[in-house]
């Protein structure tokens, strides 16, 4: 079995547009999205080991430390037989229904 880091991405501009909507407009859609996510996760519970939400971001360079933003919203750690098998798990993930939503999967290994 191999292990993979999965990143759920969304363009910052799309997230900003979403957050400008009123709570009354967002909440029903977010509730429906959560139901779809929970159903997807139940179907793939043997592969998805952990999912975490991403928060505020700092960028560290030789010039110093600055606040920044990126497209990462969430991350999961999954197990599968191959990169192709891991990607196949996510082909119908609800995150892909978000404006500009995409998922990147990276094989991980001990250093």
Residue range 56-64: mean pLDDT, rounded: 97
Q: What is the pTM of this model?
A: 0.91
CA 17/CA 14 separation, integer angstroms:
5
Class of domain 2-108 as given by CATH: alpha beta
Average pLDDT of every residue of the chain: 96
Contacts of 84 (CB under 8 A, 6+ apart): none
**pLDDT interval class at 74 (50, 70, 90):** very high
For the chain, counts of helices (H) and of strands (E)? 3, 6
Q: What is the CA radius of gyration of the chain?
A: 16
Phi-psi region at 60: left, alpha or beta (left = phi > 0; alpha = psi -120 to 50) = beta
Contacts of 7 (CB under 8 A, 6+ apart): 72, 74, 75, 103, 104, 105, 106
Residue range 84-107: mean pLDDT, rounded: 96
- For the segment 6-50, what is each residue's pLDDT rounded down to a tens digit? 999 999 999 999 999 999 999 999 999 999 999 999 999 999 999
């Amino acid at each position: 079995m191999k292990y993979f880091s999965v990143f759920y991405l969304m363009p910052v501009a799309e997230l900003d547009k979403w957050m400008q909507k009123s709570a009354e407009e967002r909440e029903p859609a977010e509730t429906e999205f959560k139901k779809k996510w929970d159903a997807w996760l139940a179907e793939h519970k043997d592969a998805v080991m952990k999912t975490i939400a991403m928060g505020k971001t700092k960028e560290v360079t030789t010039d110093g430390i600055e606040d920044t933003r990126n497209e990462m919203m969430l991350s999961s750690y999954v197990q599968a037989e191959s990169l192709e098998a891991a990607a196949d798990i996510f082909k119908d993930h609800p995150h892909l229904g978000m404006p500009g939503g995409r998922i990147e999967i990276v094989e991980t290994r001990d250093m």
